[in-house]
Chain A
Amino acid sequence: MDFPILSSLILLPSVGALFLLFAKESNTKSQQTIKYVSLFVSFVNFFISIYLWQQFDKSISQFQFIEEKIWLDGFINYKVGVDGISILFIILTTFITPLCIISVNNSIKSRLKDFLIAILILESLMIGVFCSLDLVVFYLFFEGGLIPMFLIIGIWGGNRRVYSAFKFFLYTLLGSVLMLIAIIAIYLTSGTTDVVKLYDLGVNPNYQNFLWLAFFSSFAVKTPMWPAHTWLPDAHVEAPTAGSVLLAAILLKMAGYGFLRFSVGLFPIASEFFVPLIYTLSLIAIIYTSLVALMQQDMKKLIAYSSVAHMGFVTLGIFTFNQQGLEGSIVQMISHGLVSAALFFSVGIVYERTHSRLIETYGGLVSLMPKYSIFLMIFTLAAIGLPGTSGFIGEFLILIGAFQDNFFVAAIASLGVILGAAYMLWLYKRVVFGKLENKELLTISDLNKSEMFVLACLALPVIFFGFYPEPILKTIEVSVNNLIEMYNNNLIILGNNNG
């Protein structure tokens, strides 16, 4: 048997965390050591995932690097594997995590060790979500991720951290309970929770609508889709920078990934049936939250609301069921992963210096923080989907995909692009341009080396994929094709049965 590369990816961060458990956190020097160890672990993980990508065969549609272990007496098997879609999310995870660890330098003052342990365990769980091929295993990873995030917000968060943490926890758990019931129902009707087998067997069309709704309730909260989005701004505002980054960059993507892998993959007939619902909620998310974002006074809230709008594009794209729409939504998720991470890092950077997230505190930063201003401009432009950034590729493909399905939906969603430009540029103007009026800002310092490194690491792929998205598109092409084929076959079968 081959080397179990996926399991190593999942386990390595947890093993690292286990080591850290025994470390002593007595002074700043030992804190530094702890940080370097976790950084090392996460970097190794990143390189493993890159190796995985390189070894991955893009031309076949089957899952690769499959590992299967009997667990719970054959009732449920531990099964992991990747296809072109999941591999990108794994890389996104292993890429963002070390950047988070680098950034904790100043923001986390107390209990650094515990914080890093939480982050590493979270990394394990997130990777697990993206490669599990069994519904129960997926559920465990999916829900498990709640716990470290709950702790990150609840312990290291801001003033209203407890309220936010509980709101986050309750919202997401409520949705997930329904998903668990649906998983049990699938096991009872189909006799397995193995995703690959379920793809072949198909799920009984009579139950699909209920099952779809149950999964939807969980994914809709996590995406988040309107009206289950109100936990996100609160969670972001209170979470420490690294927490916000992981939340926006990766945790939200779990839902998008879930829609692709399970809602569309397992319940194609129901997915077709619920397209109007998804379109409506996506459009509301895009327009409504963009307007709300326009009026925010808190930078983190503004970006949180913009995340909801961007994820609205993602759900819209997934349910177009054509190549451009699906590929666009995956690119959009990757892009949003990079851009929202960068934006939250950027807010974190000025927050550490002034301890204010309010937009009105700032103004005129460009003359004191020129480097920061350049980076923030790049990410602002990527957020508004300017051509030449990864954001454009995603939004454009989604819209062109949606247009082939429905003229009006695409037209309304395109309005969101105008609003997006409005709130982001207005934010940028109020923070960076203008006269420097707040005297306290006079002593603010520009990016230091590690901040510079983090932002540069995020800016490069954003621009690179904007001009040359081929590496992403090539990786997902066959898998997306396969998904569409499966979907269409199912609809044809249904048509035959009815006819």
Chain B
Amino acid sequence: MEISLLFLPLIASIISGFFGKYIGDRNSEIITSLFVIASALLSISIFYNVIINGYENNIVIASWINSGTLNVNWSIKIDPLSSVMLVVVTAISALVHIYSIGYMSHDPHKPRFMAYLSLFTFAMLTLVTADNFLQLFFGWEGVGLCSYFLIGFWFKKDTANAAAIKAFLVNRVGDFGLALGIFLIFYLFGTVNYDEVFLKIPELVNKEISLLNNSPPFAFLGTAVRSIDIICLLLFVGAMGKSAQLFLHTWLPDAMEGPTPVSALIHAATMVTAGVFLVVRCSPIFEYSVLALNVVTVIGMSTALFAATVALVQTDIKKIIAYSTCSQLGYMFFAAGVGAYNVAMFHLFTHAFFKALLFLGSGSVIHAFNNEQNINKMGNVWKKIPYTWIMMIIGTLALTGFPFLSGFYSKDAIIEFAYLKGNTSGIIASYIGIFTAFLTSLYSWRLIFKTFHGKFNNEEIKKEKIHESPIVMIVPLIILSVGSIFAGFLFKDIFIGYSDNYNFWNNSIKFLNPLTNEHPPLFIIIITPILVILSIPISYYLFIKNEKITHSIVESNKFLYNLFLNKWYFDEFYKFIFVDPAKKIGLFFWKSIDINVIDKFGPDGISKLVKFFSLKAKTFQSGYIYQYAFIMLLGFSAILTFLILN
């Protein structure tokens, strides 16, 4: 069952990718969708089995690499953690497959698109079901590759190609950290299998790192560095790349160049959460590294806040949601950073539903507006596309954490646990979490109001022509909105329940100290919902009723506005310190060193030298006897002089 779960998407991808031309567009769509739906049903049954019976399994499919002491298998590991990911990945993927049938109906390359989607699903499944770091890395790069293909799907667009390469490269920077982390793990533990590594962790807790073989421990600012800290930090660099955390986030907004279903599946619900999954999966390591956990918390909360500020001023509907994703991933990370891994997973789970819903909903809007993405060119169409409107409202309510929708349970839990952690970073994180929740609510409602309400601002399309999306696109939206409403309420006890005799996570998450089951002070619990509810009229007032105030706020804070609008100038900065110098140095090495030094003084120089001397020597061979005789005489007298003098 597990094996068919894993390989159905791969088979679907091969059929559609290589034989799509022969079986036709419609058949490709049907086959890929059916296969992935089957895979989703299997995942749900496994998830059910895990919840009810505590089912766990570790299937070895084949051996992969055997080199000396490095032995790695292809495997499927089913435990509570991977079963949650299985459900998220396959369920969202199945819905996105169905939705794509409608969304891509005018595209000439449907089989290719469906093949990529299925291939992505397969890669993601290998990632989450790995029982060792190397298979994880395989899936990790595999999803990155599919993301590259799908961002650049419209290959004629230069911006799409550039965004695709950017995504791949920024991810490679993260992968660089992850790979080094894996090397270090192998170096210290002699294995890359999770179970063996996690078992040995307690023995190595205080081992200090030496950077060269047998050299004394490496010291930084006078303190020896612990190996575990380094492992965790390196793994986290990988997680930052994949999950678009601050400093390595720049690819995610650009990735919106891809078709919208891709944004929903890869850049919202599944791939970008792989980083969170990695940290949670490695909780047996992270638990022993206070330093790394603090770094995770700080990066997480900074990203949450930073991305929210940028989302506030963007005008592209997809970019707003992309930054929102960035920000929500930040929440998940600081949840993990304060040791509430299960809460991080809970938010990952609920976020998958409402963020996929928002993306697919925005896709429906874009579809209606004939590929317009600027929210300033929309407005007042809620009556024309009522289903989309309702779904988007549900998604927004869930995202902002409106009471009793799914986001409410997971996001508030994060803030509460951060507060209860009691250390400085935890308390700061909880305050930032509350403030960010308010910002989230503001930008989300801004999006809704600008898109669906106010004045109709589009000059290219007549309002009468705006039409609702086909049923095949609406059905996945309905399913997702059901999830967005109920997922939090239904699963909260399983994911973050306090019961002593039932622990869903079993051993898949390690808590060095059991999570507290105290309650935070009342104001922490109620302030977020209050802010979230208040923000609705505030944004209605700011963005619909009285836009003048908004404009004057912008005018008086021009600096901040520009900073947010230009995404804090990260792209410009990276171009300035990485991209341009790399090109310049490359050119310098090539033109100045290779050609003007190595060649000039190497082969070309030597051959010139030889030529020079042979030309000189040539003049001796004049053919005149008297000249030869003269030189003989000279030589002769020289030798004689030499002999006599001696």
Which residues of A are in contact with B by a Cβ distance under 8 Å?
166-167, 170-171, 227-228, 230-231, 288, 291-296, 322-324, 327-328, 364, 366, 381, 386-388, 393, 396-397, 399-400, 403-408, 410-411, 414-415, 417-419, 421-422, 425-426, 429, 432-435, 467-470, 473-474, 477
Contact of A406 among B69, B145, B168, B213 (CB under 8 A): B213
> Which residues of A sit under 8 angstroms from B587, Cβ to Cβ?
295
Residue B13 interfacial (CB < 8 Å): no
Would A400 and B603 count as touching, CB distance under 8 A?
no
The winner among B137, B168, B583, B594 for most chain A CB atoms within 10 A is B594
Q: Which of B64, B141, B155 is A467 in contact with, Cβ under 8 Å?
A: B64
If A231-B603, A292-B594 touch, whether A425 touches B165 (CB-CB below 8 Å) is yes
Nearest CB of B to A446, in Å: 13
Assess whether B67 is in contact with A323, with CB atoms less than 8 Å apart: yes
**Per DSSP, are chain A's interface residues mostly helix, strand or loop, or mixed?**
helix
With contact pairs A328-B67, A387-B137, A400-B70 given, residues A291 and B589 touching in the complex (Cβ less than 8 Å) = yes
Point out the residues of chain A lying under 8 angstroms from B180, CB to CB: 403, 410-411, 414
In angstroms, Cα B141 to Cα A421, docked, is 12
> Closest 7 A-B residue pairs measured CB to CB?
A323-B68, A291-B586, A403-B183, A387-B138, A295-B586, A407-B211, A433-B155
- Which of A397, A400, A419, A473 counts the most B-chain CB atoms under 10 A from its CB? A400
Are the C-beta atoms of A418 and B183 separated by less than 8 Å? no
Q: Does B401 contact A (CB under 8 A)?
A: no
Q: Which of B67, B156, B594, B595 contacts A364 (CB 8 A)?
A: B156
Knowing A230-B598, A386-B145, the reply to whether A292 touches B161 (Cβ < 8 A) is no
Q: Are B165's CB and A403's CB within 8 A?
A: no
**CB<8 Å pairs between A and B, sample of 20:** A170-B606, A227-B602, A230-B598, A230-B602, A292-B586, A292-B594, A295-B590, A327-B67, A393-B65, A397-B65, A399-B179, A403-B180, A403-B187, A404-B213, A410-B183, A417-B179, A425-B148, A425-B169, A429-B161, A468-B64
Task: Assess whether B607 is interfacial by the CB under 8 Å rule.
Answer: yes
Nearest A residue (CB) for B581: A291
A319 to chain B, nearest CB (A): 14
| Nearest CB on A from B609, distance (A) | 12
**Which residues of A sit under 8 angstroms from B211, Cβ to Cβ?**
406-408
How would residues 117 to 159 of chain B score, 1 for a CB under 8 Å from any chain A CB and 0 otherwise? 0000000000000000010011001100100100010011010
Q: Digitize B562-600: 1 where CB-to-A-CB distance is under 8 Å, 0 elsewhere.
A: 000000000000000000001101110110001100110
CA distance A410 to B180 in the complex (A): 8
B66, CB-defined interface residue at 8 Å: yes
Chain A residues near B156 (CB, 8 Å)? 364, 433-435
Flag if A418 contacts B173 (CB, 8 Å): yes
**Most chain A CB neighbours (cut-off 10 Å) among B155, B168, B176:** B155
A253→B141 CA distance, assembly (Å): 28
* Contact of A403 with B68 at beta-carbon distance under 8 Å, contacts A386-B145, A415-B176, A429-B161 already known: no
Task: Report yes or no: A406 in contact with B212, Cβ–Cβ below 8 A.
Answer: yes
Q: Is B59 an interface residue (CB 8 A)?
A: no
**Assembled-state Cα–Cα distance A399/B179 (Å):** 9
Chain A residues with Cβ under 8 A from B607's Cβ? Answer: 166, 170
Residue of B62, B68, B134, B168 with most chain A CB atoms under a 10 A cut-off? B68
Would you call A426 and B165 a contact (CB within 8 A)? Answer: yes
9 extra A-B contacts, CB within 8 A, seeds A171-B603, A324-B70, A417-B176: A166-B607, A291-B586, A291-B589, A388-B138, A404-B186, A406-B213, A422-B169, A429-B161, A429-B165
Closest B residue to A403 by CB, please name it.
B183
The reply to whether B176 and A414 form a contact with Cβ atoms under 8 Å apart is yes
B residues near A418, Cβ cutoff 8 Å:
169, 172-173, 176
Q: CB within 8 A of B212: which of A227, A407, A414, A432? A: A407
The reply to whether B62 and A468 form a contact with Cβ atoms under 8 Å apart is yes
Q: With A294-B583, A399-B183, A417-B172 given, is the CB distance from A170 to B603 under 8 Å?
A: yes
Does B213 contact A230, Cβ atoms closer than 8 Å? no
